[in-house]
Amino acid sequence: MKALVYHGPNKKLWEDKQKPVIQEPTDAVVRITKTTICGTDLHILKGDVPEVTDGRTLGHEGVGVIEEIGPSVTNFKKGDHVLISCISSCGKCDYCRRGMYSHCESGGWILGHLIDGTQAEYVRIPFADTSLYHIPEGSDEESLVMLSDILPTGFECGVLNGQVKPGDTVAIVGAGPIGLASLLTAQFYSPSEIIMIDPDDYRLAVSKKLGATQTINNKKENAIEKVKEFTGKKGADSVIEAVGIPETFELCQSLVAPGGRIANVGVHGKSVDLHLERLWAHNITITTRLVDTITTPMLLKTVQSKKLNSKQLITHYFKLSEIIQAYDTFQHAEREKALKVILTA
């Protein structure tokens, strides 16, 4: 088969690789029909995730058709149409029983990280019964690819950890796909204001279409002053960090109101400053999380019922064989006006 293979920082190739086989009784092999590229893949290519070794097939999102199952798989059969979760869950360990699938003792985020991932013609899925989801007949595959990772990530790590409530003021730093997923799902809870902050005017315009009440270009405007202006000098009740660089995490600390929450979603490759000299007396909660995908079944129903339109996040379409070109587009998102790309096998 063909696969997108990592060969060290800034090195990747679309090349021939051995087709995966069943290794454990709980495995399934899935033929990929559609996949995408994630900001985390870009962090890997920059060298921010050293556990990813030379020869690893990248990718942790996608939909496909089951090609083969192990003898212990009971919920799926060959030919089933499935959504692949970015998190693999054994369903039995202590962490899984607590709903912390991201910390599964045998799984977690392993696809495209510790084992070969989904940016390939075929992928092996461990713990298939608890790491795949049936796709209802007639579903829009492209919309459902957004459920592999970014929608549950924005929702769980941003909205739920940020404890967004009716009437809250929410500030989201970063209007990329994860920030926009947080924007879409924050609206489940009817906040009074959602302020999107980003240096890209195109992404801010998209944010407005998707429900942002205010936008701030922090390359042209002072984001701290503008948020204070929008909130009667208080700051935001819930601040969601959706970038993963020191500057944006520092900005979040200046935007949060007393009693507020900072929910970190971004993947950080460098240390950041924590300004406890300012925050120690302000009753601030700071949360971190790797997505658990525990909300995927609910989000799947929401997308199926058209209460949530995840297809709005897709801007570019490629054949899977054009993945190098797709990466170039995704890496130059500002130039290409790119959000999520869809790769079709």
**CA gyration radius, the chain:** 20
* Matching residue, tokens 């084992």: 115
Phi, psi of 47 (to 5 degrees): 95, 15
pLDDT at residue 235 in the model: 98
Among residues 333, 12, 16, 50, which one has the least CA distance to residue 200? 333
pLDDT in tens, 108-128: 999 999 999 999 999 999 999
First vs last C-alpha separation in the chain: 12
Q: How far apart are CA 192 and CA 170, in angstroms?
A: 8
Phi, psi of 31 (to 5 degrees): -85, 120
Q: pLDDT tens for the chain, 345 residues: list them.
A: 999 999 999 999 999 999 999 999 999 999 999 999 999 999 899 988 899 999 999 999 999 999 999 999 999 999 999 999 999 999 999 999 999 999 999 999 999 999 999 999 999 999 999 999 999 988 999 999 999 999 999 999 999 999 999 999 999 999 999 999 999 999 999 999 999 999 999 999 999 999 999 999 999 999 999 999 999 999 999 999 999 999 999 999 999 999 999 999 998 888 999 999 999 999 999 999 999 999 999 999 999 999 999 999 999 999 999 999 999 999 999 999 999 999 999
Q: How far apart are CA 129 and CA 74, in angstroms?
A: 7
**Within 10 A of 65 (CB to CB), how many other CB atoms are there?**
14
pLDDT in tens, 125-174: 999 999 999 999 889 999 999 999 999 999 999 999 999 999 999 999 99
pLDDT at residue 202 in the model: 96
Task: Write down the H helix ranges in the chain.
Answer: 39-46, 94-97, 128-131, 141-145, 150-153, 177-186, 201-210, 223-230, 246-255, 276-279, 296-304, 323-331, 333-336
Among residues 110, 156, 151, 116, which one has the least CA distance to residue 131? 110
Which residues, listed in sequence order, are joined to residue 318 by a DSSP beta bridge?
A: 343
Whole-model pTM: value is 0.96
Among residues 162, 190, 138, which one has the least CA distance to residue 255? 162
User: What DSSP string runs through 164-226?
Assistant: --TT-EEEEE--SHHHHHHHHHHGGG--SEEEEE-S-HHHHHHHHHHT-SEEE-TTTS-HHHH
